Amino acid sequence: MTRDHRAPALALILAFAVAACGGGATATKAGPTAAGGGTEPTQGVEPTIDGGGGGGLLTGNGKVTFEVKVEGQSKASGELPFIPVTSLFDPNATSLTFGLSGTDEALIITLSGTGLGLASYGNSTIAVSGTDCKMSGLTLTTTEAKGSFECTTGLVTTATGLVTAGISFTGTFEAHK
């Protein structure tokens, strides 16, 4: 059996970002789940400084709320805080990273000024690559990005295998420096 390495790669990117900014304090988890069958209620993300000595990682400058469904069943959902240090704001090309330090979850959205975009999510049990995502309600500036995404084409990898059909990966996001 071939193991997909996307989820660990996303976690590794997040770990490098946290390590570069210091580490130490524990962030509060805001409710993402990744179980094959249900979601748990999410709560708002409070701004926190995560780190100690060396700068810290400022979160709370935004959030993403998302859900991944396969064949109509919820596989992952939740809310993750924005990570400015690993993000890029530009009206023509924006990359946004969301996640919690101390966890294996990360969600990355890449957008163009024309409304084209990709979204990826991963944790230790699922990896999602949403391709050909429809972006709507977009605001992209040098300091802010917000809107929503809907991906119906892509790949979902779980312990039971690869899924390429029946995928729904949706969410709303807002982020600012």
Q: Encode pLDDT of 4-30 as tens digits.
A: 444 443 433 333 333 333 333 333 334
pLDDT at res. 8: 41
* pLDDT, tens digit (0-9, with 9 covering 90-100), for 116-169: 899 999 999 999 999 889 999 999 999 999 999 999 999 999 988 999 889 999
Q: How confident is the model over 37-63, as pLDDT tens digits?
A: 333 333 344 443 333 333 334 456 999
Q: What's the length of the chain? A: 177
Which amino acid, 140?
A: L
Residue 77 CA to residue 172 CA, distance in Å, equals 12
Angstrom distance (rounded) from CA 44 to CA 31: 9
- Contact predicate 63/27, CB 8 Å: no
CA dist., res. 68 & res. 47, Å (int): 25
Angle at the Cα of 169 from the Cα atoms of 44 and 48, rounded to 5 degrees: 25
Q: Give which of 109, 108, 174 is closest to 143, Cα–Cα.
A: 174
- Cβ neighbours of 156 (radius 10 Å): 25
Whole-model pTM: value is: 0.69
